[in-house]
Homo-oligomer: A and B are copies of this chain.
Amino acid sequence: MPGSEFSEIPREANHFCGCDCPFDQSRLVLFGAPYDASASFRPGARFGPSAMRRDSWGLETYSPLLDKDLEDACVSDLGDLELPQGPASKVLDQVQAMAGAIIRSGKIPVMIGGDHSLTLGAVRAALEAYPQLHIVHLDAHTDLREDYLGHAYSHASVIRRCHDLVGDGRIHAYGIRSGLKAEFDFARQHLDFHPFSLEALADLASTLKDQPVYITLDLDILDPSILPGTGTPEPGGIGFHELLSALALTAPLRVVGADLMELSPPLDPSGASTAVACKILREWLLLMAFPS
């Protein structure tokens, strides 16, 4: 480490803005998963975590809406996993290892994607610790394909793979507006399924009570006018404040893991999508840190 003379020269930080709480004191722990090799249509989500860290510094740490400050929330940021853009199985193992280590430290992992396929790794880690885990799925797409052109671990199949693990009635899906007819049929039969809007989230807290919950947020649930920078934009989505309100409805849940996936910076030349992703993460972290 350079000497004391250097300590007075301010240098730029590498963590998400406001998230430099020491690991031991933190309750919420960020990590990035820069991988998109399963993206069927347009790649780019691998650059999501680094873009969000960089552009988070254009935000403030203080939320006027919530009147809370990230600097008081004690969130730490472990940086990004080093992932090959290769076979899904190895990558899912690494995500599972990281999320599991955080959970075993008594903390809550918050993963920044990366494509949606990675959620499976974090869900596996959460299931190990919480076999009764419920999953809240906020997304534009069903992600319930048995496989995609023969690929079982594509981002288009991730919720189907989760269902393989948790079975019927423990996945609660909201806002879905795209999928095969067969996927919609499957969803209606096997999931707690609320397509098109997020309103039904209002009832979830009273249903789940204190059961452990993993929340996965695919950012393409937002309308492409709000967040064009994602691999498979799906017009006709929900608004920014609508999503914030829905996340507020999840505040009473017992969240044991969470993720925010599918920001694709190469498809965001203005940076507005990255700003949206950062602000949603800030508000969500504050809601999880100060749940009351």
A contacts, CB < 8 Å to B? 1-3, 5-6, 8-12, 14, 23, 32, 34, 36-44, 46, 50, 54, 57-60, 62, 64-65, 67, 69, 78-88, 90, 94, 97-98, 101, 104-105, 148-151, 153-154, 176-181, 184, 195-196, 223-226, 228-229, 232-236, 240-241, 244, 266-273, 275-276, 279-280
Contacts and interface: CB of A to CB of B under 8 A. Distances in A.
Nearest to A226: B225
Contacts of A223: 225, 240
Contacts of A179: 60, 62, 64
Given A5-B105, A50-B54, A224-B272, 8 more contacts: A8-B97, A12-B80, A37-B37, A40-B85, A42-B58, A84-B154, A86-B88, A234-B279
Max chain B C-beta neighbours (<10 A), residue from A23, A32, A270: A270
B104 A178 contact: no
B90 A151 contact: yes
A34 B82 CA distance: 25
B40 A151 contact: no
A211 to B, nearest CB: 27
Given A54-B50, A181-B69, A268-B270, A98 B34 contact: no
Given A1-B23, A38-B85, A223-B240, A233 B272 contact: yes
A69 B184 CA distance: 12
Contacts of A98: 6, 9
In the A-B complex, the 10 residue pairs with the smallest Cβ-Cβ separation, listed nearest first, are A86-B151, A84-B149, A228-B272, A228-B270, A224-B272, A43-B43, A10-B82, A84-B151, A37-B37, A225-B225
A11 B82 CA distance: 5
A132 B23 CA distance: 49
9 contacts: A3-B105, A5-B101, A38-B86, A60-B178, A69-B181, A83-B149, A87-B87, A224-B270, A266-B266
Contacts of A5: 101, 104-105
A279 B94 CA distance: 31
Contact of A232 (B43, B58, B196, B232): B58
